[in-house]
Structures are given as C-alpha cells and as structure tokens.
C-alpha cells in the first residue's frame, strides 16, 4: 500500500507563515508529480500548487507570490511554504502523489490550516 502523511498544519495569525510537509511511503515505484490541494467548508477541493519530477511548478492564482512548493531531498517528499497567510486560506490541505502521467493517484488524510486572530 502507498501512504501519504501530511504534517505542519495548525493555527496561525493573519500575515503569519506555515510550512506543510508530506512524505510518501509504501510500494510506490515512481512519482511523476506531487501537489497540494485544499478544501474549505462548503467548497470544492481546489489545486494550490504542484511540482513534477523534473521540477516544473504550477500555482493556483490565490497562491502565486505567497506560497512555494518544493521537493525534499528524499524521494516522495514535498513541502508547501505558506507566507502572508489570510483567513481565506483556512482549509484542510491534502497532499497528492501521481505515479505516472496516466496514474494512479494517492492522497493523504489532510491537515487542517486555520488562519485567524
């Protein structure tokens, strides 16, 4: 089985920073891309940022200029540095790993990020 474990979520004040981590483990033999999605109450899950095995990145408009996705030194690890956080960033953040262009995909359990004063 493949497992993705997120960490780093929590409560932070507006304007603050948070760094999310994700680590994949199990019988995954390749990783084409990894990314971060988020879902707020009453809203659909949306892309935040993604990164391919070659280092190409993609950001949703709300994340541009504030968030940065990066790969770790260990295969199957990815980070999301979040700066200048806003209350509207409050959501459950999910880590995604895609093994190949055609799949399969694996999801983490999610980590709660709450931005509030």
How far is the C-alpha of 44 from the C-alpha of 93, rounded, in Å? 12
Q: What is the pLDDT of residues 25-35, one digit of tens each?
A: 988 789 999 99
Contact 25, 38 (CB under 8 A): no
- Chain position carrying tokens 């980070």: 79
Task: Work out the average pLDDT over 51-56.
Answer: 95
- The phi and psi torsions of 43 (rounded to 5 degrees) equal -125, 160
Name the average pLDDT for the chain.
96
How far is the C-alpha of 23 from the C-alpha of 15, rounded, in Å? 27
Burial 25-63 (b: 16+ CB within 10 A, else e): eeebeebebbbbbbeeeeeeeeebbbbbeeeeeebeeeb
- The phi and psi torsions of 87 (rounded to 5 degrees) equal -55, -35
Task: Work out the average pLDDT over 44-71.
Answer: 97
**Phi-psi category of residue 73: left, alpha or beta, with phi > 0 → left and psi -120 to 50 → alpha:** alpha
pLDDT band at 1 (very low <50, low <70, confident <90, very high): confident
Cα angle vertex 97, ends 116, 53, to 5°? Answer: 110
């Amino acid at each position: 089985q493949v497992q993705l474990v997120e960490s780093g979520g929590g409560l932070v004040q507006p304007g603050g920073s948070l760094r999310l981590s994700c680590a994949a483990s199990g019988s995954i033999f390749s990783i084409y891309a990894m990314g971060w999605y988020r879902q707020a109450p009453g809203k659909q899950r949306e892309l935040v940022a993604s990164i391919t095995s070659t280092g190409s990145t993609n950001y949703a408009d709300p994340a541009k200029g504030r968030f940065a996705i990066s790969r770790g030194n260990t295969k199957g690890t990815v980070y999301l540095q979040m700066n200048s956080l806003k209350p509207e960033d409050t959501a459950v953040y999910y880590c995604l790993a895609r093994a190949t262009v055609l799949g399969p995909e694996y999801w983490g359990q999610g980590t709660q990020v709450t931005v509030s004063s």
